């Protein structure tokens, strides 16, 4: 769920996806694990939540994974 009503909003895919998106907007193309490290500098999130955020960004056509790199779709 993007905005569940039973957890704190800053633990949602929607909120954390925005953090991932902000970093992607800055770098345009970044290696998957490097992106995770950069996200963790901003906010501590688990790797499974990070992957869910990337899945959500892919589903809304904002990001794509190419050869281990995450790219921002323009």
pTM: 0.86
- What the block records as the tokens of 16 is 């954390």
Q: What's the topology of domain 9-72?
A: Arc Repressor Mutant, subunit A (1.10.10)
> Residue 18 and residue 37: Cα distance in Å, rounded?
16
pLDDT tens, 2-61? 556 667 778 888 889 999 999 999 998 999 999 999 999 999 999 999 999 999 999 999
Domain boundaries, the chain: 9-72
Full strand arrangement of the beta sheet holding 69-72:
29-31, 69-72, 63-66
What confidence score (pLDDT) does residue 28 get?
Answer: 87
């Amino acid at each position: 769920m993007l905005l569940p009503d039973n957890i704190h909003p800053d633990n949602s895919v929607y909120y954390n996806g925005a953090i991932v998106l902000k970093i992607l907007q800055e770098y345009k193309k970044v290696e998957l694990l490097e992106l995770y490290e950069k996200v963790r500098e901003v906010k501590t999130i688990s790797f499974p939540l990070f992957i869910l955020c990337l899945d959500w960004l892919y589903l809304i056509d904002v990001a794509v994974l190419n050869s281990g790199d995450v790219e921002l779709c323009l």
